[in-house]
Amino acid sequence: MSIVDKRRGSLEIIDSKKIISRGSLYVAQARLTAMFKWVWMILAIAVANPVLYLLSIGVGVGAFIDKSAGPAGIDGVKYLTFLAPALLATAAIQGAIDESVFPTLEGFNWWKNFFGMNATAISGNQIATGVFLASLVRVVGTVVIYWFVMLAFGALESSKAWLAIPTAVMAGVAFGSITQAIAGRLKDENVFFVIFNRFVMMPLFLFSGTFYPLSSMPGYLQWIGWISPLWHSTELGRYLTYGHAMTQSMAITHTVFLFSLLVIGFFSSRRVFTKRLAK
């Protein structure tokens, strides 16, 4: 057998230092290879999602709202312009969840391929980081496409509008990394999805100042916005895309909130993955 005759042995062909320094990239490569199987679906969603949302709610519903709001508009702009940054952040978050929660559940619960990865020199930290990096690629792609659709719809009014791309990406991966850490702990995901979709995602989407300013909601509901990465990202997005009024301290608060969430989620998921694989 050629397999046996040509054998040189791992001591000669493998450089463990290389794996220790680049392992996360190998995991990301594996994730991207899997993701590429669905690339047309991912691209179709990335384009159809903003086009349909911006047309139906931004332009369609917006026509009624703009009419009743008069020349002052909503926050001084057309409803489409007001709504678009929130939808941008929502798409980023949704993309990040898709690429962090599902691979994590596959890896630990469904196919257990994380255990296969961990049987090589790849560590739990590297698996968590690799999944994160692959989701970052997906989120960047989704946000950039969304941003250009917003541009086509005339929803970008500020010269700083391009900065809404990194802030939306940060919101997406911050939320994604938190859900990645949670998914890494799940033994029974069915209950989680019911609770997560109904009691986390839906309230966040509805009560994060997405469709109307947070300040127009009753005071006892506004706390949802304050803990929601979607609201923080939306506020930054509105400031950057059309000049929504914002103090410097609030801009810093929004950025620090999202960044903190990202750091907490990233390091928690690494810890959760390592602990679960070591059992």
Partner 1 sequence: MSSPLISARGLTKKFDEFVAVDAIDFDVAKGESFGLLGPNGAGKSTTMRIIGATSQRTSGDLTILGMDPEKFGPQIRAHLGVVPQQDNLDMQLSVSENLYIYGRYFGLSRKFLKAKIEELLEFAQLEEKRDAKVESLSGGMKRRLTIARGLVSEPEILMLDEPTTGLDPQARHILWDRLFRLKEQGVTLIITTHFMDEAEQLCDRLVVMDKGKIMAEGSPAQLIKDYSTKEVLEIRFGSERNSEMANQLRDMCERIEELPDRILLYHEDGEVLLEQIYSAGLHPKTSLVRRSSLEDVFLRLTGRTLVD
Decide: is 259 part of the binding site for partner 1 (CB under 8 A): no
Stretch that binds partner 1, among 7-15, 80-88, 240-248, 252-260 (CB under 8 A): 7-15
Nearest by Cα to 227 from 246, 214, 208: 208
Contact mark string toward partner 1, 28..47, x via CB under 8 A: -xx--xx--x----------
Stretch that binds partner 1, among 9-17, 90-98, 214-222, 239-247 (CB under 8 A): 9-17
Element (H, E) at 73: none
Radius of gyration of the chain (CA): 21
Decide: is 117 part of the binding site for partner 1 (CB under 8 A): yes
Decide: is 185 part of the binding site for partner 1 (CB under 8 A): no
Binder to partner 1 among 45, 75, 106, 162 (CB under 8 A)?
106
247, 161 Cβ separation under 8 angstroms: no
Decide: is 189 part of the binding site for partner 1 (CB under 8 A): no
The secondary structure of residue 66, as a DSSP letter, is H
Interacting residues of 115 by C-beta distance below 8 A, sequence separation 6+: 277
Interacting residues of 24 by C-beta distance below 8 A, sequence separation 6+: 125, 126, 129, 130, 133
Please give the size of the binding site for partner 1, defined by CB under 8 A.
Answer: 42
Binder to partner 1 among 73, 105, 113, 137 (CB under 8 A)?
113
273, 125 Cβ separation under 8 angstroms: yes
Return residues touching partner 1 (CB under 8 A): 1-4, 6-11, 13-16, 18-20, 22-23, 26-27, 29-30, 33-34, 37, 106, 111-113, 115-123, 277-279
